A and B are shown apart, each in its own frame.
Chain A
Amino acid sequence: MVVLREGMCPGLDADLVRDLRAADVKTVEDLVSSDTEDLAQKCSVSYRALFAIRRVLLAQHTAFPVSGADLYEELLSSTAILSTGNSSLDKLLDSGLYTGEITELSGGPGSGKSQVCFGVAVNISYHLKQSVIFIDTTGGLTARRLLQMLEAETSNREEQMEALQRIHIFRLFDVFSLLDCLYSLRTGMLQQASVGGGSVKAVIVDSVSAVIAPLLGGKQSEGMSLMTQVAGVLKTMAKDFNVAVLVTNHVTRSSSRVQPGLGVSWRHVPRTRILLERVEKAAAVSRSSMRSATLIKSSRQLCHKTEEFDLQRWCHSEGPSAKRKLEDMDS
């Protein structure tokens, strides 16, 4: 909704705005949808002038059509695939996180969502030398853990510090600060954040459900509206700035089926979704760091593929024996 103001376009002066208001035309939408001839008569302006105003306002506020061929070419030149640093996850994601898309990790408590996020952040900042925005809504992020992961990569203190410098952390605990943060990132902080070397290639939100889930439920629609806004700003940010967005979500169980949280309206927001689960073994269940990842939504790969990986060995130290396909084990 855009309210009509004087000076928005040539010919739209204070008198005309007042006359239009008297004719119950207050916004650009009202002006565009009303019958121009009729309105010209009511406001005693020339049809030609009002028609010109309508055309200019329409051109100012509409979304412009882009040819599919141009869009495809632009996409080919700008899309990047960011490796997660974990070969099992990369295999499921068709070689990594794609820029311009939202990827979601769903999983119950202790399924390793946050650890995967840390691993991805460290890999992008250390190996790919790109900046990462990390939005922590659970308070689960500690610098010590990031450093620990970096120490596994390199013993060079300087390189470790450089990599840490490229991870920009925002701590916020409610949906309004999240929206605030995302809007300000979209209106320019993304460029600012990239000043410290490497452009921002990834935005990680861990977890998106922690701030949204408390607002849902009942028959009120405010929570749903806020959720749609979060989804909208994440999607436009991914597309317009060409960054990969990684979010985490909880899971719910209904009639013994595990489903991603936040309800059916959120379900279609991420393009790709991975379900993380603990690998249940008879002994030492609580100690095991083995996790299984299942691809449950994708437009590129066959869904329901499962891979296992060890959380403790994130990056290159991971030997090929540490992972194997679940299917091989079953057969």
Chain B
Amino acid sequence: NERKCRVWRCEDEVGGVEMTESGAQLFARLEARRCLKDIEPALFPADGGPEHGEVVELHGTEGTGKTELLYHLLCRCVMPAAAGGLEVEVVFVDTDYSLDMMRLVSVLDSRLNAGTHRPAPSVLRSCLARLLVVHCSSCSQLLLTLHFLETSLSSRPSLALLLIDSISAFYWLDRCEGGASVTKQEEKLSKCADLLDSLRRDYRITVFATCHAIRRNYSGQSSSSSSEFDRPYLCRSWQRLVNHRLLCSREEGTSNMATAAEGSEEQRRRQVFTVHCTSSFSSKTKSHRSSSFYVTDGGVKLI
């Protein structure tokens, strides 16, 4: 793959302007990227994990385990193959300024120590070195950053996952800035979605994004609290992009604020969260999978 072959694409109207790509770049772009199909088989429908270039959305209100689930998946990606990880690089786009590095490290640490041998401290460092963090403070900056990341994507074949936490962070800002026209309100996110679409197609990168459930369903009749917020509300171009939708919810009854004091210690420890996955395939079929997990000091434990 180090052959110095070059791919030339001549634009005859411009006359002599060449777009070049080295063979190594082409190879990185098309072949070497690892597939994340087996990132967490228990979450996705049988044999239906995220393929190359697929988009997964994690949707749920606060306190439904989205962040923990995200860290769980992130750890699986950056951990070395010897410890049961996928050993790929991850870009974490933090639009909420909510990345809790301490928590991530403690989850990572406990999973690395779960094996029989105690790994060297340098292993943790090398895991963290596989993670790239970008903070974005506006939708325009997100768009520019995604453009900028294109160069990283083309030069690093081991970069396999793009995480966006969260894609809904600028929703209200854009709604207000866009004035009365809905197209104007959704313009920026649509542009980001279109760009993501071309990135995942050209570089076959898998995208995971969280989406805070912040809008009620104005369906008229008041439904139960868990299904009250599950309707997608982001722009159409984003909705079209999503292949797998993971809807997180908290299992009611075990704990809420008012009855918290009465539950036994065991019950509180075992606050169970459920994830409902809906995968859509190109053949217009859909399949579902429900799974549950609880959270311990060492991260997510699937049941």
Q: Does chain A bind chain B?
A: yes
Q: Is the interface of A mostly helix, strand, loop or mixed?
A: helix
Against B, the Cβ 8 Å flags (1 = close, 0 = not) of A306-331 are 10000000000000000000110010
A251 to nearest B CB, angstroms?
Answer: 9
Out of A72, A228, A256, name the residue touching B258 (CB < 8 Å): A256
A75 touches B134 (CB 8 A): no
Contact of A232 among B62, B137, B175 (CB under 8 A): B137
Stretch at the interface among B28-36, B234-242, B261-269: B261-269
Task: Determine whether the beta carbon of B144 is less than 8 Å from that of A58.
Answer: yes
Chain A, 54-74, CB within 8 A of any chain B CB: 58-59, 61-69, 71-72
Contacts of B13 in A (CB 8 A): 41
Q: Quick check: is B207 within 8 A (CB to CB) of the other chain? A: no
Q: For window 151-169 of chain B, which residues contact chain A by CB distance below 8 Å?
A: 152, 169
Measured in the bound complex, the distance between the Cα atoms of B14 and A235 in whole Å is 47
Whether B214 contacts A265 by the Cβ 8 Å rule is yes
Is A37 among interface residues, defined by CB-CB distance under 8 A?
yes
> A180 to nearest B CB, angstroms?
18
Which one of A222, A225, A327 has the highest number of Cβ atoms from chain B below 10 Å of its Cβ? A225
Contact check, A264 vs B213: say whether CB atoms are below 8 A apart: yes
- A63 B128 Cβ-Cβ under 8 A: no
Binds B, one of A13-21, A28-36, A146-154: A28-36
Kindly state whether residue A297 has any CB partner on chain B within 8 Å. Answer: yes
CB-based contact A224/B128 at 8 Å: no
What 1/0 mask marks residues of chain A from 238 to 263 whose CB sits below 8 Å from any chain B CB? 11000000000000000011110001
Quick check: B133 and A68 within 8 Å, CB to CB?
yes
Q: Would A62 and B147 count as touching, CB distance under 8 A? A: yes
Quick check: A267 and B62 within 8 Å, CB to CB? yes
Contact B103 A300 (CB under 8 A): yes
If the complex has contacts A267-B61, A271-B98, are A259 and B257 also in contact, measured as CB distance less than 8 A? yes
Among A61, A62, A68, A265, max chain B CB count under 10 A is at A68
Decide: A224 and B175 in contact? CB cutoff 8 A.
yes
Shortest beta-carbon distance from A30 to chain B in Å:
10
A330 to B257, CA, bound (A): 17
Residue B81 lies at the interface, judged by CB distance under 8 Å to chain A? no
How many Å from the CB of A216 to the closest CB on chain B?
Answer: 11
B14 to A68, Cβ gap below 8 A?
no
- Contact-residue bracket for chain B: 35 or more
| CB 8 Å contact bits of A171-182 with B (1 = contact, 0 = none) | 000000000000
A227 interfacial by beta-carbon distance below 8 Å: yes
- Bound-complex Cα distance A29 to B176 (A): 19
Q: Which residue of A2, A271, A330 is within 8 Å of B100 (Cβ)?
A: A271
Q: Which residues of A contact B212 (CB under 8 A)?
A: 264-265, 268
Q: Is the CB of A224 within 8 A of B136?
A: no
Interface residues of B (CB under 8 A from A): 11, 13-14, 17, 61-63, 67, 78, 91-92, 96-98, 100-105, 125-126, 128-137, 140-141, 143-145, 147-149, 152, 169-170, 172-173, 175-177, 188, 191, 195, 212-214, 229, 255-258, 260-261, 263, 265, 268-269, 271
* Known contacts A41-B13, A72-B105, then 20 further A-B pairs from the complex at CB < 8 Å, ordered by chain A residue: A27-B140, A28-B140, A33-B191, A62-B147, A63-B144, A63-B145, A68-B92, A68-B128, A69-B125, A71-B101, A228-B170, A228-B172, A264-B212, A265-B172, A268-B62, A268-B98, A275-B257, A299-B102, A302-B269, A304-B261
